[in-house]
Amino acid sequence: MTNLGYHLGILGRYEQALQVLEESVTLKKAGYAEQGSLAASLGEKAQILAGLGRFKEALDFDQQAHDELQRLAESGHASASVEKWVYQVDRACLYLHLAQLIQRGLQRPDTEPLSIRLQDLLEQFSIPIERYTQKSSTKLPQEVSGKSARTVGKGQTISPATVKRFFEAVLDMYGFEGWSVILDPSTNDPRIEPNVRSVILPSEQPLSITRIRNLLSHEIESHVFRTVAGERSPLALLGLGTKGSLMTDEGLALYFDRETALAQGTQMDEADLGFWIGTLATGLASGVSAPPLTFSSLFSVSELVFALNRLLKGIDKDVASGQARVRALAIGRCLRTFRGVPDPRVAGHAYVKDAIYLRGYRAVAEAVRRDASTLTRLMVGIVSLDQLEDLNELGIVSPPHPPRWLAHDPQIETFILSFQDAHNHYDLDS
């Protein structure tokens, strides 16, 4: 029943999913289920409640799932012990990344004031970060001085209409029939909508070559590719998504983000802000290890984090030059974290999906480290790492056609720019 509730949720049929999961929880609490399975139903119910906008209840059931895992772990249940430590490691890593960011800021005169302000703010909100009072002589990772880490495209931006033509050509090259690219004036965030087979782009927002390559890798060569591969596989269900696939899906897309960054000469790993800011924001808004923050409080923290990170990476030359962009990033982060929350002035409510990205990336990266063929096996559809062995028994071990990884092609920038002319395009295969 938990699996049925999960798939009803994937289809957006939240009311039906909630009814099924409530029955599942009732039966499991009565003992009619495998020992240790209650936490999964409680967790799925939390996700469905969040989808319905009932965030206070969602957080309550998320905590019940966590408490159930804790109880099982203390009773010696093997898998629960593993899950318990996954939660604890996630929290510890987030605070470690934040602490490292502060330490790097304390090493430079131009960023020291921001680090001190951020420490003061975290202390004010009772967020458990060690207070650093002295500069360290140790050079920590990702410190960049005097120049931007992103030089691809020389700062050139591409119009939405050009990006639309480029993505339409890519969809055609892959043979993704029925998919379209839509320019939407009401959005700031590019995304895909599998149910209507659409790639959605902001209509008023020019994009850099770097950003276009990232979207190509993340949205089309990961999300769309796996959706279509799953539909064309012997098990069409793989086009919709299996149980637990969301975390793997987003983690895999982040893994490809890293590979795309490397192809452009940019170092990117788990310590990069983009990997952990969503999980951190969700935790701070939900009250993980500290009192929950409201929208305005989270904005104050996010603004300092973004400003400090951009200065350290050389993206902004000083605080003033990056102020507008930093505020936009912080507001965007908070709007996403509090999406669907009826009153952002009330603490303890959040859109909890973003907590899965970092965990998913870490799981995918570890699986690939152990076995490089995992990447190919994951491209068969929208599947979880946990189901790869089952798919192997069914003989589903590779997609119908391998991805071309256009985002990594050395000629891709020339190909993108050629779409500025609506009629004559560069031939990537020539």
Q: Please check whether residue 422 lies inside any domain of the structure.
A: yes
Say whether both 31 and 165 belong to one domain: no
Q: Please check whether residue 58 lies inside any domain of the structure.
A: yes
Say whether both 218 and 342 belong to one domain: yes
In this structure, what are the phi and psi dihedrals at residue 128, rounded to the nearest 5 degrees?
-75, 75
Say whether both 164 and 27 belong to one domain: no
What are 20-39's pLDDT values in tens digits? 889 888 888 877 766 657 77
Say whether both 65 and 131 belong to one domain: no
Say whether both 265 and 382 belong to one domain: yes
Say whether both 43 and 116 belong to one domain: no
* Cα separation, 71 vs 80, whole angstroms: 9
Q: Please check whether residue 90 lies inside any domain of the structure.
A: no
* Count: domains in the chain: 2
Which stretches does DSSP call E strand in 159-311? Answer: 180-184, 191-193, 198-202, 207-208
Q: Please check whether residue 91 lies inside any domain of the structure.
A: no
Say whether both 31 and 139 belong to one domain: no
pLDDT of residue 279: 84
* Cα separation, 111 vs 101, whole angstroms: 10
Say whether both 55 and 185 belong to one domain: no
Say whether both 157 and 20 belong to one domain: no
- Cα radius of gyration rounded to whole Å, the chain: 22
Q: Please check whether residue 92 lies inside any domain of the structure.
A: no
pLDDT of residue 275: 76
Q: Please check whether residue 334 lies inside any domain of the structure.
A: yes
Nearest to 297 by CA among 305, 188, 128, 307: 305
Say whether both 36 and 155 belong to one domain: no
Nearest to 361 by CA among 250, 273, 228, 274: 250
Which stretches does DSSP call E strand in 194-255? Answer: 198-202, 207-208
Distances from the Cα of 330 to the Cα of 45, 302, 335, 351, angstroms: 30, 5, 9, 16
Say whether both 426 and 303 belong to one domain: yes
Written as tens digits, the pLDDT of the chain (430 aa) is 777 877 777 666 778 888 888 988 888 887 776 665 777 788 778 778 766 667 567 767 767 776 776 676 566 554 444 444 444 545 555 666 778 888 888 888 889 999 999 988 988 888 877 776 655 444 444 444 444 333 334 467 899 999 999 999 999 999 999 999 999 998 878 889 988 999 999 998 899 998 999 999 999 999 999 999 999 999 989 999 998 899 999 999 999 988 998 888 876 655 677 778 888 898 888 887 788 899 999 999 999 999 998 998 888 888 988 899 899 999 989 998 998 888 888 888 888 788 888 888 989 999 999 999 999 999 999 999 999 999 999 999 999 998 899 999 989 999 999 998 776 666 666 5
Q: Please check whether residue 427 lies inside any domain of the structure.
A: yes
Domain with 65, as residue range(s), is: 2-76
With beta carbons less than 8 A apart as the criterion, state whether 378 and 384 touch.
Answer: no
Say whether both 336 and 201 belong to one domain: yes
What are 90-127's pLDDT values in tens digits? 555 566 677 888 888 888 888 999 999 998 898 888 88
